[in-house]
Amino acid sequence: MNPTRKRRLIVVLLVVAAAAVAVGLGVFALQQNMNYLFTPSQVQTGEASSHKTFRLGGMVKAGSIQRSKSSLLVTFTVVDADGAMPVEYTGILPDLFRDNQSVIATGHMDNAHFVATEVLAKHDETYMPKELKDAMAKAHKGKPVPEGGDMGGSP
Amino acid sequence: MTPELGQIALILALLLALAQSILPIIGAWRNNSAMMAVARPAAFGQGFFVVLAFVLLVWAFLRFDFSVQYVADNSNLALPWYYRITAVWGAHEGSMLLWIFILNVWTLALALFSRQLPEAFAARVLGVLGIISVGFIAFILFTSDPFGRLLPMPPDGGDLNPVLQDPGMTFHPPVIYMGYVGFSVAFAFSIAALLGGELEQAWVRWARPWTNIAWAFLTCGIVAGSWWAYAELGWGGWWFWDPVENASFMPWLVGTALIHAQAVTEKRGSLRAWTILLSIFAFSLSLLGTFLVRSGVLTSVHSFASDPRRGLFILCFLIFVVGGSLLLYALRAPKVAGGKPFAVVSRESAILVGNLMFTVAAAMVLLGTLFPLIGDALNLGKISVGPPYFGLLFPLLMLPIVLLLPFGPYLRWGKGEPQVLKRVMLRALLAAVACAVVAAFFVDGKLKAIAGVAAAVWVAVGVLLYIVKRWREMPRGRRYPAEMAGMLFAHAGVAIFLIGVLLSESLSATSDVRMAPGDTKQIGGYDFRFDGVHETQGPNWRADQGTVMVTRNGEPVAVMHPQKRTYTREQIQTESAIDPGVTRDLYVALGEPMDKEHIDGAWALRLYYKPFIRWLWFGGLMMMLGGFVSAGDRRFRVRRPANADAPEPVGAALLSETRA
């Protein structure tokens, strides 16, 4: 093998190795940080049981917001058409958080209730996030859902 | 009547844009001077009508013309005049009009300052800009008409989204669009070069100042956006890896690679095809960014409602632009490839490694941003990708860049001398280690902060040593040409940015607390005393305004007034209070009243102590300054005869100068 070819081979091998490392890291990081969205009824049918951390989406049940007297602990119930899930959160809620508002909470299950580490409500109060609308529409049909939505969706 | 005038102006602009795109390109192909000569007048005409349409929309806002749907949706009688002007780009339709307005600003600038370019080349560049313009004006006219009427006319309008009612928002969108749209000029140059084939080799030099200016604007826009998110969203963060932020960041990453690749191509003729490819990517990502922000396909903290018709148009336009330009690239790139060989240790290699990292980082961000769409399409479920994905991968990808960045200038083009490099690196390393050791005592051994100090010193010492070296070795007046001064500014900005990011990330203290009037909470050595809340009033909002006294060791530091505003339509918006400082920011945001009956007046408060956070924006502004300074280099303004097709290496005379 002449020197030019040898050098090229080394370069190619290095590039391949670097690409492999990059792809490996990327896949690893992606897997660690993918959060699935479920509605209360999906959680109750056990769909979320294989996920430690996930996002819970739905509407805040009217009158369910309870503040603790001494700390920032707040509990509320997130509902969809045929499910309800009590949520516990410690901290400051977003500006648009209120009764009947669509919210997405990130967190994990602790026995029968959901412990949220982050609660998001949309800036535009008339607007429900598309993914949440889809998820709720799907849960409403009550059919056994595979892993995901049947959404072609707009581009 | 004026809204209809606006519509007519847009239609006329569309027709002129068609003329500007079709005739000059055919003319350049057929070598027909008359057809090529259409480009400039058509560009001026189009510019006139687009500016007219824009002014008419501003006018409609200023005189409360609620018979226009867009005006009625985004403003009301109580909205102050300055926010009525910014309301023009407060929602989808108006931002598209702003986009096309800025495209025309760039086109007009190009039409004015391109007279020294060869006739055919200038015609092609303006033609390509015309094509982009056609796409956007058609998009506005067919799917997003800002002049649509609303009948019967309502007595009062809706409201501008309260998060947008902030001084930062007045100039953030125009500046960021200056950047996005500016890449269309670099794109047009590249396409023109592909169309022209091997004839033109000097085009990269003509493209460079434009690309640098666009990049500087984009940098400024991202800094402003980050500042706005920090000051206005009330979460105290400066970057969230939110889809909308990523949308502006991806073109920036590719644009940064592009301005460096252009330097190589201009000076050495190498990497020519790569430079063209990067400018195609930069512009495509800008287009994607524009649409991601406003189309609402991705769930984001600040995305707006979507319309499938728009999505389809956008998708077709993207496919046309990206697909068309890549097809052209595939057909013509082999003809433009070439350049001088370079050794492994050379400035070209250093820039290439940086380019690779920036491109991979952009791809990584793109994957993370679009993954929810991919997951949706593949039936994987409703997925979102959390910030830790970006937070893990991005620093890893940037590490080689930070390590290499200060030493690029020491390397010669073609073949560098490792000994010189070793000497400089040794000094920088010693300085970095020494500072890191000293810093370790001040930061309680927090690794991230120590790494931040070390990295910043490493970069800063490298840049400083180079400044000294130039000072010693070059005669007066030739030490720091603007191009080099810009590079030094930007690289020094990176050092300052690193300090800001890593120190504020690692040393920040935050606390969400419940406080009754008189309560005190200590954070970062500062005592925050909550003195209760009272009502106050603004032009179009009322607010609960808190008072927080900050003291340090008993000495008063600041009195802060965070607000919880309620706008006319009952939208609630947090206005945080910030006490800025060179070494630290204090930041207070009001949460919510803890007892609805207001017996003890307790509120939830969010308190932050953020050291050195200002440095990261200052570093960003230094980078911006670098972009502008570089673009002002006299070399880029040199007039050359229009018919000289410089076959000799471009800028050969200046090579010796830029070599250290």
Best residue in A23, A54, A130, A138 for a mutation probing chain B (most B CBs within 10 Å): A130
Q: How far apart are CA B628 and CA B636, in angstroms?
A: 13
Residue B563 identity (one-letter amino acid): Q
Backbone phi, then psi, for B204, in 5-degree steps?
A: -65, -40
Total domain count for chain B? Answer: 4
Alpha helices by DSSP H, listed for B31-166, are 33-36, 39-62, 69-74, 81-86, 92-113, 119-143
Identify the sign of the CA torsion A146, A152, A155, B6. negative
**Is B652 among the domain residues?**
no
Q: How far apart are CA A146 and CA B379, in angstroms?
A: 9
* Model pLDDT for residues B336-366, shown as the tens digit of each residue: 767 788 888 889 989 999 999 999 999 999 9
Q: In this complex, do B382 and A134 lie within 8 Å of one another by their Cβ atoms?
A: yes
DSSP three-state, residue B414: coil
For strands A53-60 and A34-38, give the pairing.
parallel
* Model pLDDT for residues A25-68, shown as the tens digit of each residue: 888 888 888 888 888 888 888 888 888 888 888 888 888 888 88
Q: Taking the model in full, what pTM does it have? A: 0.89
Domain encompassing residue B226: 167-309+328-413
Does one domain contain both B171 and B70?
no
Measured between CA atoms, how close is B91 to chain A, in angstroms? 12
Question: Burial, B77: exposed, middle or buried (Cβ in 10 Å; 0-12, 13-18, 19+)?
Answer: exposed
Contact predicate B488/A67, CB 8 Å: no
Q: What is the pLDDT of residue B463?
A: 94
**Which has the closest alpha carbon to B607: A63, A70, A52, A72?**
A72
* CB contact burial B463-496 (16+ within 10 A = b; e otherwise): bbbbbebbeeeeeeeeebbbbbbbbbbbbbbbbb
**Is B318 among the domain residues?**
no
Does one domain contain both B190 and B105?
no
| pLDDT tops 80 at residue A134 | no
pLDDT band at residue B644 under the 50/70/90 scheme? very low
Query: Cα dist. B190→B131, B336, B366 in Å?
Result: 14, 11, 23
Angle between helices B39-62 and B119-143 (to 10 degrees): 30
Residues for chain B: how many in total?
660
Q: In this complex, do B571 and A125 lie within 8 Å of one another by their Cβ atoms?
A: yes
CB atoms within 10 A of CB B374: 11
Mean pLDDT of B593-618: 85
Residue finishing a domain among B165, B188, B213 = B165
| pLDDT tops 90 at residue A72 | no
Does one domain contain both B542 and B595?
yes
Does one domain contain both B424 and B519?
no
Measured between CA atoms, how close is B23 to chain A, in angstroms? 33
Q: What is the pLDDT of residue B381?
A: 74
**Is B289 among the domain residues?**
yes
Q: How far apart are CA A56 and CA A116, in angstroms?
A: 9
For strands B383-385 and A34-38, give the pairing.
antiparallel
Query: Cα dist. A6→A16, A21, B349, B513 in Å?
Result: 15, 22, 19, 64
Percent of chain B with pLDDT strictly greater than 70: 93
**Is B85 among the domain residues?**
yes
Does one domain contain both B290 and B262?
yes
CB atoms within 10 A of CB B286: 29
Does one domain contain both B402 and B471?
no
Does one domain contain both B480 and B524?
no
Q: In this complex, do A36 and B594 lie within 8 Å of one another by their Cβ atoms?
A: no
**Is B642 among the domain residues?**
no
| pLDDT tops 90 at residue B618 | yes
Backbone phi, then psi, for A125, in 5-degree steps?
A: -75, -15
Does one domain contain both B128 and B26?
yes
* Model pLDDT for residues B32-54, shown as the tens digit of each residue: 999 999 999 999 999 999 999 99
**Tokens 């910043």 belong to which residue?**
B456
**Is B100 among the domain residues?**
yes
Task: Give me the interface pTM, i.e. the ipTM.
Answer: 0.74
Which of the residue ranges B227-241, B313-327, B398-412, B545-559 would you say has the lowest mean pLDDT?
B227-241
- Nearest CB partner across the interface for A36, out of B308, B382, B512: B382
Does one domain contain both B457 and B606?
no
Backbone phi, then psi, for B552, in 5-degree steps?
A: -135, 120
Q: DSSP states of B68-80 as a string?
A: BHHHHHH--TTS-
Query: Cα dist. B92→A69, B104, B146, B241, B293 in Å?
Result: 43, 19, 9, 22, 9
**Is B183 among the domain residues?**
yes
Contacts of B385 in chain A (CB under 8 A): 30, 33-35
- CB of B572 within 8 Å of any CB in chain A? yes
Alpha helices by DSSP H, listed for chain A, are 3-33, 40-44, 130-141
Does one domain contain both B174 and B157?
no
Residue finishing a domain among B375, B392, B413 = B413
Does one domain contain both B211 and B244?
yes
* Model pLDDT for residues B144-178, shown as the tens digit of each residue: 889 998 888 888 888 887 778 877 777 888 999 99
Does one domain contain both B127 and B7?
yes
**Is B649 among the domain residues?**
no
Residue finishing a domain among B112, B140, B165 = B165
Contacts of B399 in chain A (CB under 8 A): none
pLDDT band at residue B294 under the 50/70/90 scheme? low
For residue A123, the surrounding DSSP H or E stretch is: none
- Nearest CB partner across the interface for A123, out of B161, B383, B564: B161
The Cβ-side half-sphere exposure at B443, using a 13 Å CA radius, reads 26
The more confidently predicted of residues B567 and B10 is B10
B15: its two tokens = 């027709």
